[in-house]
Amino acid sequence: MNQGQLITLEGIDGAGKSTQLTWIKEFLQRRGITVITTREPGGTSLGEELRAILLDNNLTIHPETETLLMFAARREHLDKVILPALERGDWVVSDRFTDASFAYQGGGRQVKKIKLEVLEQWIQGRMQPDLTLYFDVPVELGRQRIGAINSTDRFEKEQGDFFNRVRAVYLQRAHEFPDRIYRIDASQSFNEVQAAIRRILETTLFSEPNA
């Protein structure tokens, strides 16, 4: 049996990832693929409990504690959801994964990159997503889109400077890992973003060799 594929969606808050998640799932299902969708932090019982703590607006959490909790949730997620699915041959689409830790904890909170790399190596070894779709929007647009929602969590309430640092790390990683991370201009209309996703999926995951 073929190993499944892990696709991750990344971007600053309000970029439009979650909006496209179901469409991506259905696009893959139409090709006969069994797909599970999930999210980080979260995706397991413990992960969802950690998510509630991490997003709680009433808590003050040290940046390194926040980092460790993100990776703790990820360890559970890999063990209980992602790796078993990939081993069954199912595909996994995750709303965020480790790039978010580099962007938010590394960029936003300014936790040293080497500490994140050590945790990444510890938790994942050499394992990486097969494909990462990075939804890129200017910080102001992301904030406007979140503003339309009405509730803000512990990250969403951060100021523009924080999100500028988060976005800068995402852009830097897209540059550093061009074979894995594809930047999508997510400031476009819903249909244009969807068309861009379709093109990337078709050229990266479904292109016929020698066709």
Ligand X SMILES: Nc1ncnc2c1ncn2[C@@H]1O[C@H](COP(=O)(O)OP(=O)(O)OP(=O)(O)O)[C@@H](O)[C@H]1O
Ligand Y SMILES: Cc1cn([C@H]2C[C@H](O)[C@@H](COP(=O)(O)O)O2)c(=O)[nH]c1=O
Q: Which residues bind ligand X (CB under 6 A)?
A: 11, 13-19, 145-146, 148-149, 189-190, 193
Residue 39 as a binder of ligand Y (CB under 6 A): the answer is yes
Taking residue 122's Cβ as centre, other Cβ atoms within 10 Å add up to 10
Q: Tokens 């992301």 map to which residue?
A: 142
In 8-149, which residue ranges form alpha helices assigned H by DSSP?
Answer: 17-29, 45-55, 63-77, 83-88, 98-100, 113-124, 139-147
Residue 167 as a binder of ligand Y (CB under 6 A): the answer is no
Span of 36-44, 137-145, 177-185, 189-197 interacting with ligand Y by CB under 6 A: 36-44
Smaller CB separation from ligand X, 4 or 11: 11
Shortest CB 21 distance to ligand X, Å: 8
Amino acid at position 67, single letter: T
Per-position x/- string for 177-206, each x denoting binding to ligand Y as judged by CB under 6 A, each - no binding: ------------------------------
Asked if residue 91 lies in contact with residue 28, where contact means CB atoms within 8 angstroms, the answer is: yes
112 contact partners, CB below 8 Å, separation of at least 6: 106
Smaller CB separation from ligand X, 87 or 185: 185
Binding site for ligand Y (CB under 6 A): 13, 39-41, 70, 95-96, 100-101, 104-105, 155
